[in-house]
Structure formats: C-alpha cells, structure tokens
Amino acid sequence: MNDRMSSSAPRCRPARDAVRSGSARRRADDVRLADLARAIAHPARIRLLRTLADRQSCICGDLAGRLPLAQSTVSEHLRLLKESGLIRARAVGRRTCYCLEPRTLARLKSLMADL
C-alpha cells in the first residue's frame, strides 16, 4: 500500500464555513483574550499581579523592591499591565499607587473559562 493517505481519509482542516462562522462578538472576545494573555505573558508581570492580590489593597510605594529587577524594568511591566487594564494607577503626591482592576481580572477569567 502507498505511504500517502488515500483521498477518502478524513482531513484535519476545518471547513471554510466553520472558520468564517464565528460571530463578531466571539472574534472581539478572542482579540481581548489575546491582548490580556500578552499582558500576563511574563513571570515578572505575574509576580506583580500576585503581589497586588496578596495585599488586597493598593500599594503606594516601592514595588521594585519586591522583585529582583531594576526600577525601570518594573516600571515598564507596570505600564504594560496598566495599558491592558489589569491594574490601575493613581498619583498620590510624588508616588503612584497601584491596584488590581477586579473587573478586568474577572473578564480574563471568564474568557479563559470559555476556551
């Protein structure tokens, strides 16, 4: 027998109609999930989220002291988390206070559960 699959063998590719059938809402959810996944795709950002979650309140002060990273690196990670909506920041004097954004975290959990 020939090593090639016969023409009657099932194919693994989805039908074109199946690929196109996703709703606009589902596609938007997929894009949002991908954006949030990128935001948490670094161990330092996971650590920052866990640090904020453990405190169960805003942290106003030195988050860089809690990670073995330079202040500028921590600031960049915080910026990315803030842009994604996973955390929020507010200025208090010369310091910035960081808090988890519970609605975005709940949305991330919901989108992951729908996979």
CA–CA distance, 73 with 10 (Å, rounded to integer): 50
Sequence-distant (≥ 6) Cβ neighbours of residue 87 within 8 angstroms: 48, 49, 52, 78, 81, 98, 99, 100, 101
What the chain holds in terms of domains, given with CATH numbers, is: 24-113 (1.10.10.10)
pLDDT digits (tens, 9 = 90+) for 28-78: 999 999 999 999 999 999 999 999 999 878 888 778 888 889 889 999 999
Give me the pLDDT at residue 18, please: 47
- pTM for the model stands at 0.76
